[in-house]
Structure 1
Amino acid sequence: MRRIGVGIIGCGNISGAYLTAAQGLPAIEVRALADMRTAAAEKRGAEFGLPAMRVDELLKRDDVEIVINLTVPLAHTDISMAVLRAGKHVYSEKPLGVNVAEARKVMDLAEEKGLRVGCAPDTFLGGGHQTARQLIDEGAIGTPIAGSAFFMCPGHERWHPAPGFYYLRGGGPMLDMGPYYITDLVQLLGPVAAVMGSTSRMRSERLVTSEPMNGTLIPVEVATHVAGTLEFESGALVSIAMSFDVPKHRHTPIEIYGTKGSIAVPDPNRFGGEVAVARTGGEWETMPLTHGYADGNYRSLGVADMAAAIASGRPHRASGALAFHVLEVMEAFQTSSDEGRRVAIQSRVERPAMMRTGIETGQID
């Protein structure tokens, strides 16, 4: 398999995880970094031994075929469009756009140019989630009929060095953390058919307690508690809550309930974790993991899979189509809350192919 050259635009907090993971993925080679803030690109470049440059310079490089877009959500569409216009495939951090209308521009341009769009999260490719997928597909819990998905915390202003964007358009707990949970649910259960939701925004400002902004008040433009129901095309109903307003809770991240048992799925913000199954009338049993990528943070795995797919001509798993469907689902919660109705989801997407069992970390099937 030929190694495909990659560039990164956006050298903020998450870029370190991407760059570290990429070093262990032979399908890709990061060759250049760029950021609107020259100092940020130069700092990451020095850290990883990579050239830092302007965005326009990176887009002109012939040795870069895929550009990873790690900018803030409000810039995702503009940067992704610029990458596609430069004739390169793009892999975006989540969400694909701040709304469906913006994301559709990216998808339409990619189709016009004959280029690929990929999008985080790729955590569903990790060993914990692929094991859960295999167990469900093999009938370990019978037919899935229901489930639950919860992410709730007091807010990212406690730890992030620049948390303001989490509370602006394109942010909030649903668009920030929802992609992990809903993407995993789609790969486990298939596409979502409809949504019912309620949202709240209890504060118009948040107090930052992390450094270097400790003591700063930041504005809140989006809902900070989102709850509702996902109705899957299969008929399964999943209760979901995403919140930046909850001090503490005891819910597990994801559980799926079937006709013959239940399965506890690991934290979808991580690649590994414990998978447990409880058959009807029985107790929880920890299941052996059947797939690799279970013991680390592989934040470039989706890019590597995309590169391997380009080289072999197959579909890639963390696709723009999957991210677009998930974005439409997330947007529907606010629409449902505002209009007091069940919202039908128009897009459909096939479940991504499972990763092959037995592959070693670093390999792509």
Structure 2
Amino acid sequence: MAKEKVGVIGCGMISEIYMKNISERFANMELAACADIVPAAAKKRAAQFGCRACSVETLLHDSTIGTIVNLTVPAQHAEVSRQALLAGKNVYTEKPLCVDYESGEQLLQLAEEKGLLLGTAPDCFLGAGLQTVRHLLDSGELGQVLFFEANLYQRGPEWFHSNPAFFYQAGAGPILDWGPYYAAAVIALLGPVRRVGAIGRKPYARKTVMSPASPLSGREFDVDVPTSIVSVLENRSGVIGNLNLSFDTGFRYWESKTPFMRIYCERATIDVPDLNKYSGPVLLRKGEAEFEEYPLVSALTENCRGLALSDMVHSKMTGRGYRADGAFGLHVSEILLAMQRSVEEGCFVELRSTCRRPEPLDSELIAELCENGGTQK
């Protein structure tokens, strides 16, 4: 199979799994180079994965590289993606696509004008867990979807991150940091959203770095964004649901007894697995029966970050559509930005954007995209 040469911009924590998967998991890509504003970070990743470290400018002007993976900080996503598109590169960006609607809309227009592809994380909805939920919903056996609930109750990043202050600044918070996983799942499972309403609060004006491994441990920092949010979403299909996000609980999110996401249908209820992972379990309750684990429909249960990137590269090579495209990313971002606006203004927000519900990921395409059928080497 022909391989697309890929360059990575941004060599922080998340870059490791992306570069590992590009190098080892996906069959249609070759990791060519990486760059970072901190040269030492790029050199470290280059040595780890056997690629070339260079400056951002050099990477953007390398004619052998066709696709850029943008793993910079969220506030820089739109600008770095814009520069890459202007340099004639296809772009796949870590979430969110943008932190303001206008810059995201401009990226879509620029990509269309230049005939380039624009894709975006998160892609956990392509993993075995959420694809199994999609299979159940599409089977027709459960009847119509009535409503859903989705929950992220998490003690904040101050408990594990060495420098967590940026998580509490504009462009982050639970809405834009964790919200993309939830908004993407809602779209992938239930379709695009029509309007959003939300209320939120900031219980603490300041928080303290709690990680004992951090050199900043014990230091206080300002909280600039709402950290506990309750929202209501109405999908274009008529399905309604709520999405609740918090960085203020005393436990880790997987220790909560509330479901990550629960979908109520006419004849059954589905407990959706962790929306930040690719695996199960998927639990199905038919009528008044107890919940039972439902078999997963694919082998993509490990950390497959970059799966949507591989799908985008496949689209470039074949001319077929891809799932996590720019319209999908813009709609994810607008859902979350609408939540922020609703909290600030106390009103429902009608969304301007929409997107198609991404097609399921079939076994034949998985075999094309992934080495060993998707399992890690």
Q: After TM superposition, is the score higher than 0.5?
A: yes
**Where does residue 95 of structure 1 map in the other structure?**
96
**Where does residue 4 of structure 1 map in the other structure?**
4
**Where does residue 58 of structure 2 map in the other structure?**
57
Does 2:270 match 1:263?
yes
Of 272, 276, 281 in structure 1, the residue corresponding to residue 279 of structure 2 is 272
Amino acid at match of 2:222: P
Does 2:172 match 1:171?
yes
Alpha-carbon contact 1:199-1:333 (below 8 Å) kept:
no
Of 200, 223, 236 in structure 2, the residue corresponding to residue 233 of structure 1 is 236
Give me the identity figure in percent. Answer: 38
SS of the residue 2:238 aligns to: coil
Moved more, 269-278 or 195-204: 195-204
Q: CA deviation at 1:164?
A: 2.6
**Where does residue 334 of structure 1 map in the other structure?**
340
Amino acid at match of 1:52: A
> For 1:162 and 1:30, how far apart are their aligned partners in 2?
29
Structure 1 residues 161 and 302, CA gap change in structure 2 (3 angstroms): farther
Structure 1 residues 161 and 44, CA gap change in structure 2 (3 angstroms): farther
SS of the residue 2:152 aligns to: strand
SS of the residue 1:33 aligns to: strand
**Mapping of 1:209-358 within 5 angstroms?**
209-210=210-211, 211-248=214-251, 249-294=256-301, 296-357=302-363
Q: CA deviation at 1:199?
A: 1.4
**Where does residue 159 of structure 1 map in the other structure?**
160
Alpha-carbon contact 1:141-1:257 (below 8 Å) kept:
no
Q: CA deviation at 1:337?
A: 2.0
> For 2:216 and 2:322, how far apart are their aligned partners in 1?
39
Q: CA deviation at 1:276?
A: 1.2
**Where does residue 20 of structure 1 map in the other structure?**
20
Q: CA deviation at 1:354?
A: 0.5
Q: CA deviation at 1:250?
A: 1.6
Alpha-carbon contact 2:175-2:340 (below 8 Å) kept:
no
Q: CA deviation at 1:152?
A: 1.3
> For 2:161 and 2:240, how far apart are their aligned partners in 1?
34
**Mapping of 1:27-176 within 5 angstroms?**
27-176=28-177
- CA distances 1:75-134 after superposition (whole Å, capped 9, x unpaired): 111101110010001111101111212212211211221111111001110011111101
Alpha-carbon contact 1:292-1:357 (below 8 Å) kept:
no
Q: CA deviation at 1:158?
A: 1.3
Q: CA deviation at 1:226?
A: 1.4
Q: CA deviation at 1:205?
A: 2.4
SS of the residue 1:105 aligns to: helix
> For 2:206 and 2:74, how far apart are their aligned partners in 1?
20
Q: CA deviation at 1:357?
A: 3.3
Alpha-carbon contact 1:141-1:263 (below 8 Å) kept:
no
SS of the residue 1:147 aligns to: strand
- CA distances 1:169-223 after superposition (whole Å, capped 9, x unpaired): 2101011111111101111001111111001122232211232332232332221
Alpha-carbon contact 2:99-2:337 (below 8 Å) kept:
no
Amino acid at match of 1:351: R
SS of the residue 1:90 aligns to: strand
SS of the residue 1:350 aligns to: coil
Alpha-carbon contact 2:130-2:272 (below 8 Å) kept:
yes
Paired residues, what number?
A: 363
CA RMSD of aligned residues (A): 1.4
Amino acid at match of 1:322: F
Amino acid at match of 1:106: L
Q: CA deviation at 1:338?
A: 2.1
In the superposition, the TM-score normalised over structure 2's length comes to 0.93
SS of the residue 2:232 aligns to: strand
Amino acid at match of 1:15: S
- CA distances 1:120-155 after superposition (whole Å, capped 9, x unpaired): 001110011111101100023211010110111110
Moved more, 64-73 or 43-52: 43-52
- CA distances 1:33-57 after superposition (whole Å, capped 9, x unpaired): 0000111111111111221111000
SS of the residue 1:80 aligns to: helix
Amino acid at match of 1:276: L
SS of the residue 2:270 aligns to: strand
Moved more, 247-256 or 354-363: 354-363
SS of the residue 1:6 aligns to: strand
